[in-house]
Structure 1
Amino acid sequence: MAEPVKTEQPGQPPAAGRSSEDRSARIAVTVFPVIIIAAFLIGFLFPTQTAPLAQYTSIALGVIMFAMGITLTIPDFALVIKRPLPILLGVIAQYVLMPAVAVALVFVFQLPPELAVGVILVGCAPGGTSSNVITYLAKGDVALSVTMTSVSTLLAPIFTPLLTLWLAGTLLPVDAGSMAMSIVQMVLIPIVAGLLVRWLLRSWVEKVLPLLPWVSVLGISYVVIAVVSGSADRIVEAGLLVLAVVILHNGLGYLLGYFAARVFKYPERVARTTSVEVGMQNSGLAATLAAAHFSPVAALPAAVFSVWHNISGGLLALFFRYRSARQEKHDLEVQKAHSNAQ
């Protein structure tokens, strides 16, 4: 779900008339936690029947990334030139803060190697594909969010395997070269293909844009079913521990992303955007990489993250909207008091 709504200008509120693409994206994000929980339960309750799905998770992720590529346009990347500093902050925070938090949690909770690698891999993943819609619902800067997600995703073939090798290489063998090639095949090539399709078949693509959020929802649900089916036994044993680590990882990402932007004196909307971008990870990519290069158990943290970060993202958006409403009410009261004083 790379681009939930078009803005009139980068960083400006959405246009008055919400497009069908916007409505579809908002509905998809609203029901996404329910669908992903159902996928989690299917994989857990029917592991034998759903285990064969694991061999096609890379294809499912490629479809998700292709859909993301179709939603992107040239102005999304032009924002890198127009507003490089907040984008640079967001990308650096993504690939510094989240891996650092992951390593700290692995140390504090003394996780076994397979789960530890899975948590670190989630921390080293790029921004989540649903972060743009959450940013919109949180009244953040949608154009900035789209660009941050796009840039961090395109950098993933470099940073994700190198960071995983550096931070997790002592826990389990990490083939950074093979992982980088997997990311190129599952992420980079599908995104570029999607961009080309958007450019060559623009009129046709406009008709199918409302369906693309559902492609992402179904694709990630497929990955979750496949991953959970391969680690159903360990969920019973370590499920609560993994959930606690995931909740802390995600929550600290939100907080650190928000305050990183505020430290550099960026406005509230940029801080909200950075918070969402840093806190929400591409857990579908992390799960697929973990299952392919390590084990189904290593993919468990990413599967749990897929469920949790979409629930927490919706709650965070509600919190930010509540703050906006209070601020607007306060400003209105100040204006009335000022008018009465005159």
Structure 2
Amino acid sequence: MRVLSGVSSFAGRFFALFVIAAAIIAFLIPEPFMPINSYVPILLGIVMFGMGMTMKPVDFKRVAKQPIPVALGLVFQYTIMPLTALAIAYLLNLPPELAIGLVLLGSVPGGTSSNVMVYLAKGDLPLSISMTSLSTLVAPIATPAILYLLASQWMPVEFWAMFTMIVQVIIIPVTLGLLLRRFLPVIVEKTVTVMPLVSVLAILAIITGAVSSNAETLATAGFISFVAVMLHNGAGLALGYTAAYLVRLTPSQRRAVSIEIGMQNTGLGVTLATAHLSPLSVIPSVIGTAWHNITGPIMATYWAKRPLKEGDAPPQQGADINVSK
């Protein structure tokens, strides 16, 4: 178990490099990875089950203790990212499939790897965990509703089909993970340290399946998609911090909100696009998986070197870090 924990930690630190390598391999040699696409919902369910195992009731109690920062962060999450995606889609005149894929990427909840980045950035970790948990729980309604309102002009959006899938691959696995932690804590404590490895392997499988099935479209639309994702992610990080500043959140809370908004649950984006949209719409979430895990550590390193003033230090003590993507 100690060896697996070490491997798990290594995989988590170099996740972005593994994603890039896996995507390149699947792009160059797509045939072996194509069957994986059929198992994408199951793989994402495994990732979210791992997330549930790392969550505790205290994660939700924090919402009651500091409701205003969490509520503001949640509003920023589901307004800044989808509206920015819509603006970029128009600005770059993206094809309809890429446009709806980018809006989908902006409409999914925060990715849980953001919690690690917030911790490293000396941001408000409890706020980050609360935002991740709450945005994930409201995703079955928020994600398809936002996508329907903003992107149904490009192609049909099946609200109830997406709602059902998000419940199946997000809510049910997270709930099962929570229940396992509640009733079998000894087993969870022994296995939770290897969950980052399981999550990394599952996400890598999702990416290889998506890339292999869309190799031709990625070759033709990869550059403009990368530009769109890069602009979207940068805008999320900058606008998230600015919005938190304007509502007078503390410096540590601004860091948490910025990273939390900038890093999305790209695995859910890939899953929904694969199941309910066109092949080309998968590309923004595929690129986002790698790009978000490059800019996240960069921002964490930048802020880690800039100490907070006395009194602004975040309440890190006692907060568990969710490490699944």
TM-score by length of 1: 0.87
Match of 2:18 among 35, 43, 48: 35
1:146 aligns with 2:124: no
Report if the CA contact (8 A) 2:27-2:215 is conserved.
yes
Letter in 2 for 1:209: V
Per-residue deviation, 1:24: 7.5
Alignment of 1:51-200 (within 5 A): 51-200=34-183
Post-superposition shift, 1:94? Answer: 0.6
Q: CA deviation at 1:295?
A: 2.2
1:22 Cα offset (Å): 10
Q: Does 1:323 align with 2:306?
A: yes
Partner Cα separation in structure 2 for residue 26 and residue 140 of structure 1:
21
| TM-aligned CA deviation for residue 65 of structure 1 | 0.5
Distance 1:73 1:290, change over 3 A: same
Question: Structure 2 matches for 1:226-265, cutoff 5 A?
Answer: 226-265=209-248
1:286 and 2:294 equivalent? no
Partner SS, residue 115 of structure 1: helix
Deviation at 1:238, TM superposition (A): 1.3
Query: In 2, are the aligned partners of 1:26 and 1:133 still within 8 Å (CA)?
Result: no
Match of 1:271 in 2: 254
User: Please, what is the CA RMSD of the aligned residues?
Assistant: 1.9
Contact 1:230/1:297 (CA < 8 Å) preserved in 2? no
Q: In 2 relative to 1, CA 150–25 (structure 1 residues): closer, same or farther, beyond 3 Å?
A: farther
Larger deviation, residues 284-293 vs 44-53:
44-53
Amino acid in structure 1 at the alignment position of 2:250? P
Structure 1 CA distance for aligned equivalents of residues 11 and 201 of structure 2? 10
Helix, strand or coil at the partner of 2:154: coil
Q: Does 1:302 align with 2:273?
A: no
Contact 1:24 1:210 in 2 (8 A): no
Mind listing any 5+ residue stretches in structure 1 that lack a counterpart?
A: 1-19, 329-342
Partners of 1:66 and 1:282 in 2: CA distance: 14
Instruction: Report 1 or 2 for greater relative contact order, CA contacts < 8 Å, sequence distance ≥ 6.
Output: 2
The aligned residue for residue 215 of structure 1 is 198
Larger CA Rg, structure 1 vs 2: 1
Q: Structure 1 residue 234: deviation in Å?
A: 1.5
Deviation at 1:158, TM superposition (A): 0.3
1:26 deviation in Å?
A: 5.9
Contact 1:29–1:133 (CA under 8 A) maintained in structure 2 = no
C-alpha distance in structure 2 between counterparts of 1:95 and 1:237, whole Å: 30
2:188 aligned with 1:205: yes
Judge which range, 32-41 or 179-188, deviates more. Answer: 32-41
Deviation at 1:124, TM superposition (A): 0.3
Q: Distance in 2 between matches of 1:39 and 1:22?
A: 22
Alpha-carbon displacement from aligned partner over 1:97-125 (angstroms, at most 9, x marks no partner):
00000000000001111111110100000
Indicate conservation of the 8 Å contact 1:24/1:213, yes or no: no
Q: Which amino acid aligns with 1:108?
A: L
Checking the alignment, whether the CA contact within 8 Å between 1:121 and 1:164 is kept in structure 2 is yes
Runs of 5+ consecutive residues of structure 2 not aligned to the other structure: 311-325
Letter in structure 2 aligned against 1:199: R
Query: Taking every aligned residue pair, what percent have the same amino acid on both sides?
Result: 44
Change (3 A) 1:305 1:103: same
Structure 1 residues 258, 223: CA separation in 2 closer, same or farther (over 3 Å shift)? Answer: same
1:25 to partner: Cα distance: 7.2
Q: Secondary structure at the match of 2:156?
A: coil
Task: Tell me whether 252-261 or 38-47 shows the greater mean CA deviation.
Answer: 38-47
Residue 23 of structure 1: how far off its partner (Å):
8.0
Which amino acid letter does the alignment assign opposite residue 135 of structure 1? V
CA offset at residue 282 of structure 1? Answer: 0.3
Asked whether the equivalents of residues 255 and 275 of structure 1 are also in contact (C-alpha less than 8 Å), the reply is yes
Given that 2:47 and 2:199 are in contact with CA atoms closer than 8 Å, whether structure 1 keeps it comes out as yes
Q: Residue 28 of structure 1: CA displacement?
A: 3.8
- Match of residue 331 from structure 1: none
CA contact (8 A) 1:165 1:174 kept: yes
Return the alpha-carbon distance in structure 2 between the equivalents of residues 130 and 280 of structure 1: 8
Equivalent residues of 1:228, 1:296 under 8 A apart:
no
Instruction: Work out whether residues 119 and 302 of structure 1, in 8 Å CA contact, stay in contact via their aligned partners in 2.
Output: yes
